[in-house]
Amino acid sequence: MNSSILKNRKILLGITGGIAAYKSAELVRRLTKEGASVQVVMTEASTKFISSLTFETLTGKPVFTDIFSSPLAHIRLPQEADLYLIAPLTANTLSRLAQGMADDMVTACFLSFRGPVLLAPSMNWKMYEHPATVENLKRLKDMGCVVIRPETGELACGEYGKGRMAEVDVLIEEVKSSLCKKDLSGKKVLITAGPTREPIDPVRFISNRSSGRMGFSLARVARRRGAEVVLIAGPTAIAPPHGIKTIRVETASEMFESLKEHLSGANILVMAAAVADYTVKSPLSKKAQKTKLRSLKLSPAVDILKEVSKIKGDTFVIGFAAETGPNIAKAKRKLREKKMDMLVFNDITLKGAGFDTETNRIVIITSKGEKGYPLMSKEDCAEVIFDHYLEMVA
Ligand code: CTP
């Protein structure tokens, strides 16, 4: 289940003549799947790389390439759009945009559009680094365009360098970010995510089940809404979100140390991490024989939230409680005992609310009461968590 940000949003997508145009087909498919309505305009050159029929099929709408065959399309299409993304953007079209030229659909739409413009350059690294391109990009940034930086890697020409169009995931994240209200701007948000691991020996550990998805969704949503985000993440199989300062930790005490380092000035702390409750008293430096591991001496791991409550100052603290059953009373006790300002409760036995899912079913508990939500994507859960925060501090 996807977040609902793109639902019914109208995206104008300009495609220019670079090899990365093949990725735009996947981009359109994903945007459409998340509920956006995509209108494609192409340069003549781009149709040599990928057919307009591909995009007509994916969007169910005619693709515009020739400015003369539909004389007012370059005014009408931008008027209808919420956002204009040009991906891939070649050095040639980039230069023409910077000069204010309007001799094809992609450039003419740029001039007549009034709204957020996102550019995803794609070219050979020498072309990207050329002072002419650097100057053109600067001009476009000064005009208010968001430039989605290309990646470094192997290029179509076989050379290695910076110029490969950003991945589709990154493009979609930037689109969402541009369409989002910036009601968390000026806020610093510290988020913990994923499990922690307490070593037994170099190959074994004690941990909790947690994919990191909820914490990563919170980080993405906070960034989109304008916050400065610091993410402290335990070991996860999935990659942390794009564009966010992420500190990797392993144990509960490492997480606590990192958190103390970054807590100062944080307006919000979200403890979405599934912190281990126990740590092994004397972890072994060499792999133990299994016969020697029949019992383990444990000591309590640091209870990060309890410790934070003593030093948090004005930081608004949001905790999580994953329980097996509708154990709201226990959750409310945790809220009080750990002096949290908000607790997000979820019953992991409910369908779609467990681990390794893209969805969750949450109840938000504060000292004023509780509010339950239906099954939602984890990103939409993150949205309502921050909405509640803003309501509480208003
Ligand atoms: N938490 C923490 N430090 C720990 C354990 C948990 O800061 N050592 C935080 C979690 O990140 C979460 C909240 O405390 O935000 C509640 O965690 P949970 O595991 O539900 O509660 P516990 O206090 O560990 O109680 P129990 O496991 O007995 O339910």
Residue 171 shares a structural domain with residue 199: no
Range of the domain at 161: 4-179
Written as six digits, the tokens of 113 are 């559009």
* Residue (of 79, 82, 11, 6) closest to 41 by Cα position: 11
Answer with the one of 122, 157, 179 that is the final residue of a domain.
179
Q: Whose CA is nearest to atom 24 of ligand 1?
A: 277
- Rounded to a whole number of angstroms, the CA Rg of the chain reads 24
3-state secondary structure of 225: coil
Residue 227 shares a structural domain with residue 137: no
Q: pLDDT digit string (tens) for 109-165?
A: 999 999 999 999 999 999 999 999 999 999 999 999 999 999 999 888 888 999 999
Peptide bond between residue 150 and the one before it cis (omega within 30 degrees of 0): no
Rounded average pLDDT over 280-293: 91
Q: What's 52's domain CATH number?
A: 3.40.50.1950
C-alpha 133/C-alpha 91 separation (Å) is 7
Q: What's 357's domain CATH number?
A: 3.40.50.10300
Q: pLDDT digit string (tens) for 240-250?
A: 998 999 999 99
Q: Is 252 in the pocket of ligand 1 (CB under 6 A)?
A: yes
Indicate the angle between helix axes 91-99 and 131-142, nearest 10 degrees: 50
Which one of the listed residues 145, 157, 180, 381 is annotated catalytic? Answer: 157
CA of 292 to the centre of ligand 1 (A): 30
Residue 193 shares a structural domain with residue 170: no
Count structural domains, the chain: 2
Answer with the one of 160, 179, 198 that is the final residue of a domain.
179
Q: Is 345 in the pocket of ligand 1 (CB under 6 A)?
A: no
Residue 304 shares a structural domain with residue 209: yes
Among 180-184, 280-284, 291-295, which is the least confidently predicted range? 291-295
Q: Is 259 in the pocket of ligand 1 (CB under 6 A)?
A: no
Q: Whose CA is nearest to atom 12 of ligand 1?
A: 320
Residue 73 shares a structural domain with residue 159: yes
Residue 18 shares a structural domain with residue 150: yes
Give the angle subtended at the CA of 219 by the CAs of 339 and 227, to the nearest 5°. Answer: 85
Answer with the one of 146, 179, 212 that is the final residue of a domain.
179
User: Is 145 marked active-site?
Assistant: no
Rounded average pLDDT over 69-82: 95
What's the pLDDT band for 1 if we cut at 50, 70, 90?
Answer: low
Rounded average pLDDT over 89-93: 98
Q: Which atom of ligand 1 is nearest to the CA of 300?
A: 8
Residue 111 shares a structural domain with residue 221: no
Residue 335 shares a structural domain with residue 199: yes
Q: Is 218 in the pocket of ligand 1 (CB under 6 A)?
A: no
Residue 158 shares a structural domain with residue 200: no
Residue 273 shares a structural domain with residue 292: yes
Residue 293 shares a structural domain with residue 370: yes
Residue 163 shares a structural domain with residue 198: no
Q: pLDDT digit string (tens) for 164-214?
A: 999 999 999 999 999 999 999 999 999 999 999 999 999 999 999 999 999
Q: Which atom of ligand 1 is nearest to the CA of 337?
A: 23
3-state secondary structure of 230: strand
